[in-house]
Amino acid sequence: MDTEHYDLLIIGGGINGAGIARDAAGRGLKVLLVEQGDLASATSSASTKLIHGGLRYLEYFEFRLVAEALAERETLLRIAPHIVWPMEFVLPHESHLRPAWVIRAGLFLYDHLGHRMFGSGSRSSLPTSKGVRLVPDGYGAGLKPEFEHGFVYYDCWVDDARLVVLNARSAAAHGATILTHTRFVSARRDGGEWAATLNGERGKRTVHASAIVNAAGPWVRQVLDEALKIKLPATVRLVKGSHIVVPRIHEEGHAFILQNPDRRVIFMIPYERQFTLVGTTDVPVTRDDFRARISRQEIDYLCEAASRYAEKPITPGMVVWTYSGVRPLYDDGSENPSAVTRDYHLLLDTGGEPDGAPVLSVFGGKITTYRRLAEQVMEKLSVRFPGKPAWTHAEPLPGGDLEGRSFRGLLLDYRRRHPRLPKLWLARMLRRHGALAEEIIGDAREERGLGRNFGGGLYERELEYLVGNEWARDVEDVLWRRTKCGLHMSTAQKVEVRDWLAARV
Ligand SMILES: Cc1cc2nc3c(=O)[nH]c(=O)nc-3n(C[C@H](O)[C@H](O)[C@H](O)COP(=O)(O)OP(=O)(O)OC[C@H]3O[C@@H](n4cnc5c(N)ncnc54)[C@H](O)[C@@H]3O)c2cc1C
């Protein structure tokens, strides 16, 4: 390893780093991705988990971003139908916050922007928006009866942390080396390439690379300033966002997008069958706050915002879990943290020499647009690595090739073939692993065959699989990122998983 040479060294195993690793490896490049913690251990597991155009960004005239993101919904539905699925959103109408004509105009644009600007050739596969009566049409479940009218539109849900892991798996299948728990310490230009120092579990080592991609998310500036000692004009705005999880507020499948008097919007989304996810906040932070945690004020803010609409008040005492992440936004000078652009910027530095070793830094971005971002990174680096066409729109992510079946078709097929395996568990397995679930089920015909039952829908077979195939090592990796079994387990059950991992890894 010490003397090894790579075409591309990628710093950061969030969605952007993993997506770029996949794209580059599939174009035949020799890729090394280093992540200082676990894959998706920072912002990319802390999102609202929407593959969305971002309805509210229309108010900030972010037409390019919205159009690209809307077009990406179609692509991601196609390449990852197990972890990405359509979700219906209900927007209760409050005329004093936004008049109906403004909302209708916004939804009209939202229905048409994606395929108009990016010309996918066909219309969106998702239904178009419409006005609805909340109570008689069934959309008011869980809301105060005073909300009578509203609008319905569609976006998509994604398991964000699994999207990262599946991109890393695909990258590895195309030949990339993925090193978690390995920190990028520094690098210097050396005869037209980079010599980089990494610090992993076996200590420090040096590797050589033709180019570096800095996809360090909230740490992008720190990597530039401290590890690479490069001055670039761009700055990153760090904006914390938090979510709370409470017992489910209604039994229907739809989510709510709620207008708040401060003009922000809050989502209430059905989550893991028994729960409702409420988020998010926009709190400016400094680099000292990187280990993001929700504050008492944020919990109060989210409870208050949700309770304005919810039939039964949502109180801090109902919160069963919280998570927070830091958005690494490109600083466009906006004073209001909610207004800072969610679009991404790619900054290339070649050390002042036209053919100097390049480092490309990623500022901003969204889970939704990671795949297009990766394509644009490859375009920017095409002087170094010419000639290979874009491909990631066409090949399904691991487990995403359902061989022509819908997700429901896959589920019915598995239920037919495995009638004695727990039904709910099968559904959860397919949502996590898609067509690869068979690799975990193997020859198990009934629950006993799945190995030790840790509770919360986690069996030893899957645990073995996550450790062997998905770089899982610690209890957090398994219970909160590769799965959300943590939400369904007691403390004692979690300790058992921790002890199993400590003995196994
Ligand atoms: C509250 C919230 C809600 C959001 N909701 C949505 C949403 O619904 N839909 C959507 O599309 N987007 C959403 N986003 C945006 C999206 O989550 C982010 O844009 C995206 O996750 C950023 O990914 P990233 O790879 O750039 O950063 P990260 O996921 O933070 O990854 C960067 C990685 O780099 C690693 N790293 C840093 N320094 C080093 C080093 N020196 N060596 C090795 N590794 C290093 C870090 O450990 C980290 O894992 C949301 C964001 C937040 C915070």
pLDDT in tens, 100-109: 888 888 888 8
Cα(350)–Cα(418) distance, rounded to whole angstroms? 56
The atom of ligand 1 lying closest to the CA of 279 is 1
Cβ neighbors of 246 (< 8 A, separation 6 or more) are 275, 276, 278, 306, 314, 318, 319, 320
CA–centroid distance, 293 to ligand 1, in Å, is 15
Angle, helices 460-469/491-504, rounded to nearest 10 degrees: 50
Nearest CA owner, ligand 1 atom 51:
47
CA–centroid distance, 265 to ligand 1, in Å, is 21
Q: Which residues line ligand 1 (CB under 6 A)?
A: 11-17, 34-37, 41-44, 46-50, 183-184, 215-219, 223, 241, 280, 325-328, 362, 365-368
Task: Evaluate whether 224 touches 230 at the Cβ level (below 8 Å).
Answer: yes
The atom of ligand 1 lying closest to the CA of 326 is 53
Nearest CA owner, ligand 1 atom 16:
366
Which of 1-10, 68-77, 82-91, 128-137 has the lowest average pLDDT?
1-10
CA–centroid distance, 21 to ligand 1, in Å, is 15
Is residue 31 over pLDDT 50? yes
Cα(309)–Cα(286) distance, rounded to whole angstroms? 33
Cα(64)–Cα(73) distance, rounded to whole angstroms? 15
Kindly provide the residue ranges of all beta strands, DSSP E only, lying in 393-459, ordered along the sequence: 453-455, 458-459
The atom of ligand 1 lying closest to the CA of 362 is 26
Q: Residue type for 109, please?
A: L
Write the pLDDT tens digit of every residue in 35-62: 999 999 999 999 999 999 877 777 777 7
| Helix, strand, or coil (residue 433) | helix
Question: Which residue would you say has higher pLDDT here, 163 or 332?
Answer: 163
Q: Which of 476, 478, 472, 435 is closest to 457 using CA atoms?
A: 478
Task: Evaluate whether 459 touches 450 at the Cβ level (below 8 Å).
Answer: yes
> In the 8-state DSSP scheme, what is residue 143?
B
Burial 147-175 (b: 16+ CB within 10 A, else e): bebbbbbbbbbbbbbbbbbbbbbbbbebe
CA–centroid distance, 453 to ligand 1, in Å, is 32
CA–centroid distance, 303 to ligand 1, in Å, is 25
Cα(125)–Cα(406) distance, rounded to whole angstroms? 13
pLDDT at 181: 98
Cα(41)–Cα(325) distance, rounded to whole angstroms? 10
pLDDT at 118: 54
